[in-house]
Amino acid sequence: MIIGVNCGHTVSGTIGSGAVGILNESDETRRVGYALMKLLREAGDTVIDCTNDRAESVTENLRKICSMANARKLDLFVSIHLNSGGGKGCEVFTYDGRKLPQAERTLEEMAKLGFVNRGVKDGSNLYVIRHTDAPAMLVEVCFVDTPSDAALYNETGAEKIAEAIFEGITGRAAAANEGGMTMEQYRELDDRLKKLENPMIYNYIDSNMPEWAREAVQWCVDSGIVQGTGDGLGLDYDKLWTCVVIYRLAKKLNK
């Protein structure tokens, strides 16, 4: 899927930045939004980051967000916000209040984390809902100025909230929850893969280089056949063998 993700407003403290209460909307939407983008990318989805950090006005900020979202055909546009004004829980705005399955699932996943489900609401008058071409949803995660919401948010953490939104919009479990591989096992596997990808490279004719190759490589270097780079000779195992073959051939021809 191709998903456009917008971290609500401009950066904190600039024109068009979000609500500030116990939580700072600009900062937290970036934590949630970028964690969500990471999850989507790791799952193989294409992410278009529709976040605008700075603008001269709120209108310019909104226009920029929509032009990023409309630059290519998206399967879904998701805007992340935090609410303010006193209230409790999570709500999702869609065009005409359409009950998009992605919106309803997001609310269900957020409810599992303890956030009150305030339902899908009519967001037809919201700029980013009205002016984006793709099916769009705007998530108001919770209220920045409600102490119990702020406490639940801090306790839960942006990553878990991103996972809830990921599961909501994709209908798939976040990768971290499945597969049963521990972090330690993952690191070990990753290590092994890296070793496979980066086989031994011989840069110098020294005791690290297999003895059977040293004389041949030295001859190849002396005769200018192997020149190397500024970082050394850069020879892998196959190239060592090539040097040996060239060396033997040269000796044979000289006889």
Site for Zn ion in 186-245 (CB under 5 A): none
Choice between 138 and 226, CB closer to Zn ion: 138
Q: Closest distance between Zn ion and the C-beta of residue 127, in Å? A: 11
Exposure string for 159-193, b = 16+ CB within 10 A, e = fewer: bbbbbbbbbbbbeeebeeeeeeeeeeeeeeeeeee
Q: Closest distance between Zn ion and the C-beta of residue 136, in Å? A: 15
Q: What are phi and psi of 145, to 5 degrees?
A: -110, 10
Residue with tokens 């596997």: 189
Q: Say how many residues touch Zn ion, by CB under 5 A.
A: 3
First to last CA, the chain: 66
The residue sitting closest to Zn ion, measured at its beta carbon, is 81
Angle 42-46-49 from CA coordinates, rounded to 5°:
100
Choice between 18 and 168, CB closer to Zn ion: 18
Site for Zn ion in 71-130 (CB under 5 A): 81
Choice between 150 and 217, CB closer to Zn ion: 150
Choice between 161 and 226, CB closer to Zn ion: 161
Q: Does residue 8 bind Zn ion (CB under 5 A)?
A: yes
Q: Closest distance between Zn ion and the C-beta of residue 140, in Å? A: 7
Max Cα–Cα distance, the chain, nearest Å: 94
Name the residue type at position 180.
G
Residue numbers at the binding site for Zn ion (CB under 5 A) = 8, 18, 81
